[in-house]
Amino acid sequence: MIRSKKSIHINVDPEVHASFRIQCFHRGLSMQEVFATFAERVGIESNDMIRFLDQIANDKKVKAVKRYTKSDTDAIYAMLESEDPFDRSNQEG
């Protein structure tokens, strides 16, 4: 039985590509070997790779939060202050 391979196409900045390629070259590795091994280790849930994925996911969340502008955060704080759940004067009854 002939097994076909799946291909992955990714886009990275030219600087990232160059530095990644250099690091692979210094170790006698191809970028293909590195990505294939990474994918394999993720697939078998290698502890270090799962921690790495968790770190990337967390960094992504932090980056999303950092995208808010100062006016966005000011508006959110103003909303929270105007509807303070601990302020009994705003509550009915």
pLDDT at res. 74 = 76
Q: How confident is the model at residue 77 (pLDDT cuts 50, 70, 90)?
A: confident
Give residue-wise pLDDT tens across range 43-56. 999 999 999 999 99
Per-residue pLDDT at 82 exceeds 80: no
CA distance 91 to 38: 55
Q: What is the pLDDT of residue 80?
A: 73
Q: How far apart are CA 85 and CA 93, in angstroms?
A: 14
Where do we find the tokens 């391979």? 5
The pTM score is 0.61
Q: What is the pLDDT of residue 87?
A: 63
